[in-house]
Amino acid sequence: MAQLLPPEQWFASLPTAYLAAFGLITDESGRVLLVDPNYREHWTLPGGVVEEGEAPHLACEREVAEETGLTRTAGDLLALQWSAPREPRPKPFVSFVFDCGQVDSGVEITLQAEELDGYAFLEPRTAVSRLHPALAPRLSGALRARATGTTVYVP
């Protein structure tokens, strides 16, 4: 009979991944809110890394509030994207996109100055083109999911 590993050894042997959570926010015209990080070349949805022990939907709400000053509830999970490890990142990234609803285009956005240089409400096609090519399918999938009432897996 095989010897069972103690739970702490078994859990330590499992693969891990980094997690991130983002919010899809649109205005009354359907334009997508993007933010311009000062540490990247491409724009992104508001959001960021899930902290240790934090639920992804709560990370989304926290990150959206920190980055934009907007208090939003993370609604339906719209898209889930798995990104393979690549240098210098040794583990995969799993990114969640939650529906954070609609805001008025005149809403006051308070940017997190340490991380963001700007924001814009953009037509969906323009918003997708502003994202890194590896991340653009995440937004396309989230928009499709919102329109169809489904969740999209983005490999």
pLDDT digits (tens, 9 = 90+) for 22-48: 999 999 999 999 999 999 899 999 999
Rounded average pLDDT over 55-79: 98
**What token pair was written down for 107?**
């809403």
- Euclidean distance between the first and final Cα of the chain, in Å? 39
| Residue spans per domain, the chain | 16-154
CATH class name, domain 16-154: alpha beta
Does 1 score more than 70 pLDDT? Answer: no
pTM over 0.85: yes
Rounded average pLDDT over 118-133: 97
